[in-house]
Amino acid sequence: MPGDSTLRFPLAASIPARTQVGIVGAGPAGLMLGHLLHRQGIDSIIVENRSRQHVVERVRAGVLEQGTVDLMHEVGVGARLGREGLRHRGIYLAFDGARHHIDMAALTGGRAITVYGQNEVVHDLIEARIETGRPLLFEAGDVGVHDLDSSRPRVTFRSAGAAHEVVCDVIAGCDGFHGICRPTIPASHQHIYERVYPFGWLGILAEAAPSSTELVYSRHERGFALFSMRSPTVTRLYLQCAPDEDLGPWTDDRIWSELRARLSTDDGWRPNEGPILQKSVTGMRSFVVEPMRYGRLFLAGDAAHIVPPTGAKGLNLAMADVYRLSGAIAEHYRSGKRAADGLVFREGAGTNVAGAALLVVDDVAAAPQRQRQPVRPSSPARRTGVSCQFDRCHDEPGRELLRRAVRL
């Protein structure tokens, strides 16, 4: 199995002592960053503390925005996505017993979303990384980053029982919300914006063919529900619940009964049912740290910002982060600078992330806020990102339907 520790790549003897960019984390952000840098002739090492099997098989996001799809094709990792991805022109909003279709492609000049699991994205990027021959290590232990405010930041770790140190020009922290990179930044250099919502999602993965060709967001008196999918044979469904919901009492029969109650519509539509493969409860929070840089350390993806899964933004924001970061790193080397002090994100990138991180579908006015810094007035709250997007279109019936659904 690819996750076996004997299949670490590369062999310990080929781990470099010096590289240009050290990347911590082999999720979508870290792998895509390494790939983008490789295409521009920039060397890197990617270090991941989990096994390859774990990284590939964990169930995460499944909705790719047009920009992410375009990027994957542009950099040569979109072949399987093109064959197997499920392109959706729009979504359904369900309320008062009826589904209402929103044609996103018509409203946005042909742009659409594609259902393609994050695990599939990671699989494709790992294969591409291995083809480059550049270092990618799984199951690295005791990973640490050091001397971030010096000209020689270091990544240290253990692999195959031996200790290693790699000196870098730049370190990219792509190791997720619970990773080791962000906590190394002194508290005095961080501004954290956080909001915790008083609800969660009970999500399941089911072996059942999707009964709808597009996602269904349902508002019901019993709570919100979402119908989604991962493939032509697997559906992904969610129920609004308490953030600390106990999964114990939720038998498979009870879950399907509740999904039928919240999703079924008067025209007879309902989700297909089948064996439940996975189930879990996810709490809802928005979290943004700024700046996304300290010295020679740059944060990307969930290491810098967490968004509620309601908007399917997490993976797409991570791709946007590393696209910008890779461009800045490439420009740094093209300019001939020996120091990384000129590396910056473009003005406004942080504002976009903050806006997306505060976007949720449900009403959060009563949500308890744990903001270590107050949310800026310029940071748009929940609905702003959606309503602004549709305010730019000229389809008044579609725009009004969306507004009505959000107001309910």
pLDDT in tens, 386-397: 223 333 343 454
Q: Can the peptide bond before residue 368 be classed as cis, meaning omega within 30 degrees of 0?
A: no
Q: What is the structure's pLDDT at 337?
A: 59
Residue with tokens 């799984």: 138
Residue type, 399: R
Strand partners, 217: 93, 226
Check residues 363 and 245 and name the one with the higher pLDDT. 245
Q: How far apart are CA 49 and CA 55, in angstroms?
A: 10
- Helix ranges (DSSP H) in 75-107: 79-84, 104-107
Task: Tell me the pTM.
Answer: 0.82
Q: How far apart are CA 116 and CA 56, in angstroms?
A: 13
End-to-end CA distance of the chain: 48
Q: Is the pLDDT of residue 405 over 50?
A: no
Residue 393: CA atoms inside 13 Å, Cβ hemisphere, count? 21
Q: What is the structure's pLDDT at 350?
A: 39
Q: What is the structure's pLDDT at 311?
A: 77
E strands, 48-153, in order: 63-64, 86-88, 91-95, 98-102, 113-115, 136-137, 141-146
Q: How far apart are CA 253 and CA 256, in angstroms?
A: 5
Q: How far apart are CA 49 and CA 295, in angstroms?
A: 23
Residue 1: CA atoms inside 13 Å, Cβ hemisphere, count? 10
- Span of 123-127, 299-303, 398-402 with lowest mean pLDDT: 398-402
pLDDT digits (tens, 9 = 90+) for 71-130: 999 999 999 999 999 999 999 999 999 999 999 999 999 999 999 989 999 999 999 999
Most distant CA atoms of the chain, gap in Å: 66
Residue with tokens 């473009």: 346
Q: Is the pLDDT of residue 217 over 60?
A: yes
Sign of CA dihedral 115, 244, 358, 92: positive
**Of 329, 327, 345, 359, the residue nearest 291 (C-alpha):** 345
Locate 131 and state its tokens: 């083809």
Check residues 357 and 210 and name the one with the higher pLDDT. 210
Q: What is the structure's pLDDT at 58?
A: 79
Which CATH number is 5-76+118-193+285-375 given? 3.50.50.60
141 Cβ contact list (under 8 Å, min separation 6): 49, 157, 158, 159
In this prediction, residue 312 has a pLDDT band, given cuts at 50, 70 and 90, of confident
Q: How far apart are CA 8 and CA 51, in angstroms?
A: 9
Question: What proportion of the chain, given as a percentage, has pLDDT over 90?
Answer: 73
Q: Is the pLDDT of residue 143 over 90?
A: yes
pLDDT mean over 149-173? 96
Q: What are the φ/ψ torsions at residue 134 (nearest 5 degrees)?
A: -85, 155
In this prediction, residue 60 has a pLDDT band, given cuts at 50, 70 and 90, of confident
Check residues 351 and 187 and name the one with the higher pLDDT. 187
191: helix, coil or strand? Answer: strand
Sign of CA dihedral 203, 232, 356, 218: negative
Q: Is the pLDDT of residue 64 over 70?
A: yes
Locate 4 and state its tokens: 């076996």
Q: Can the peptide bond before residue 380 be classed as cis, meaning omega within 30 degrees of 0?
A: no
Sign of CA dihedral 318, 321, 327, 331: negative
- Helix ranges (DSSP H) in 133-275: 252-263
Question: Best-predicted range by mean pLDDT among 123-137, 297-311, 325-339?
Answer: 123-137
Q: Is the pLDDT of residue 398 over 60?
A: no
45 Cβ contact list (under 8 Å, min separation 6): 15, 16, 19, 21, 22, 23, 134, 135, 136, 137, 155, 166
Q: What is the structure's pLDDT at 61?
A: 76
pLDDT digits (tens, 9 = 90+) for 331-357: 999 987 544 455 543 333 333 443 333
Q: How far apart are CA 259 and CA 49, in angstroms?
A: 37
pLDDT digits (tens, 9 = 90+) for 2-38: 444 334 454 444 899 999 999 999 999 999 999 999 9
pLDDT mean over 244-271? 97
